[in-house]
Amino acid sequence: MKIAIVGTGYVGLVSGACFAELGADVTCVDVDQEKINSLNNGVIPIYEPGLSDIVQRNMKANRLHFITDLTACVNDVEIVFCAVGTPPDEDGSADLKYVLEVAKTVGMHANNYLVFVTKSTVPVGTAKKVKMTIQVELDKRHKQLEFDVASNPEFLKEGNAIEDFLKPDRVIIGVESGKAQKILEKLYKPMFLNNFRVIFMDIPSAEMTKYAANAMLATRISFMNSIANLCEAVGADVNMVRKGIGSDSRIGNKFLYPGCGYGGSCFPKDVKALIKTAKQHGYDMKVLNAVESVNDIQKEILYKKLKQHFDGNLNDRTIAIWGLSFKPETDDMREAPALVLINALLKENCKIKVYDPIAMNGCRRKLGSVVEYCENKYQATIEADALVLVTEWKEFRIPDWNLVKQNMKGVFIVDGRNLYNKTELERNNFIYTAIGC
């Protein structure tokens, strides 16, 4: 089965590689010539565990191809997946210009039946706009051509995307014709064989499902952070509270970890977009407005704890930061809490020393030389007045606290992910603070 995937960002590249792994003949398309050249040379533009191996293996098997021109393959494929970016517009709504450009190209050049599938996260109603865009271009050509549109949102977690794709909790597919459903059933046949949940529904429901899922997860995070802050105020331990409420089967323990706020490419953008969609339809998403507000405040909590400890005077302090990416197992720094902390500390004339196992280059691109980049976590602590854990990478879990203490000038530890044992650190004469305990 031949398919095309337009966009070789996170969603497009992972999806394309995994479909090829399942046996499909996949052509990935991107207008960025440099990126396509790199991919054809086996260089992967993003960090995702296991992705490089899958890409190279399927390129070698001649099942995975990278080109810059959709028109070169549009009449050779049964399905065109659109996985281009949908960045937030100035008003928070999802910008669909790249999606509609792909639809326009299909309408201008397609001569055979195909299914146009949006894999990007798009607001409800996008499929109608895509269908209209394709039809307008067909009409300009006086071309009578049957085609279908569908929605197949991704639910991949950065850092675990390969596993999520090949062994999904569920696959959501929105269709409006039996023909499109049959074609997508053929593509997803391996999922059926492995008894994974493939759920077909109408297109608006599929489009909404993605936003609703991300908004729910973001809500759980902001709720737990609010509870954590209250726990700290009243003297309760949020780690105990989390275990207590998580043991309730109706609640469960996922996404109940307090921290320094969520970031990444999905949650912030999708919450904003859903709020905007609701507003366009005359409904006020009060819960999500609160979720967003709580998260914005929570991203400042590490800075506030540092400010409080040093009695409001951070001038000329040296601060060590462990972790830069918005979460472990990715180099993605979009909307990362570390950026909020660093920018706040720079205004205080702090010297900032950073270390991250993967995201150092990404940080250099974003911030340049305003921070000191260290070769390892211990180098970052040398002469530091305080150490802040921002991202809970595995290598930060069991540090040599004796070495950290020898290196540091100060004794203050700010644990933004509640990773460490307070009693142990206080026994080593550190001053320790975490989130909600």
At which residue do the structure tokens 């044992």 appear?
Answer: 421
Rounded Cα distance, 419 and 196, in Å: 34
Strand partners, 88: 94
Task: Give, in order, the Cα–Cα distances in Å from 365 to each of 260, 361, 362.
Answer: 23, 6, 5
Q: Where are the alpha helices (DSSP H) in 260-368?
A: 267-280, 286-298, 301-309, 337-347, 360-367
β-strand pairing of 372-373 with 79-82: unpaired
Do residues 207 and 176 touch, judged by C-beta distance below 8 A? Answer: no
Take residue 430 and report the two structure tokens written for it: 């550190």
Task: Count other C-beta atoms under 10 Å from residue 108's C-beta.
Answer: 17
| Among 211, 203, 202, residue whose Cα is nearest residue 123 | 211
Task: Give, in order, the Cα–Cα distances in Å from 58 to each of 54, 93, 177, 212, 324.
Answer: 6, 37, 32, 34, 32
Rounded Cα distance, 232 and 300, in Å: 16
Please tell me the total number of residues recorded for the chain in this structure: 437
| Among 292, 164, 284, 270, residue whose Cα is nearest residue 207 | 270
Rounded Cα distance, 349 and 346, in Å: 5
Q: Distance between the two ends of the chain, CA-based, in angstroms?
A: 54
State the burial class of residue 172 (Cβ atoms within 10 Å of its Cβ: 0-12, 13-18, 19+).
buried
- The alpha carbons of the chain give a radius of gyration, in whole angstroms, of 24
Please name the residues in contact with 265: beta carbons below 8 A apart, sequence gap of 6 or more: 10, 158, 332, 334, 335
Query: Which strand ranges, in their side-by-side order, compose the sheet holding 412-415?
Result: 372-373, 351-355, 318-322, 386-389, 412-415, 431-433
H or E, element range at 222? helix 203-234
Catalytic residue among 266, 350, 363, 437: 266
Number of continuous H segments (helices) and E segments (strands) in the chain? 18, 14
H or E, element range at 432? strand 431-433
- Residue 18 bears catalytic tag: no
Q: Which residues are known to be catalytic?
A: 266
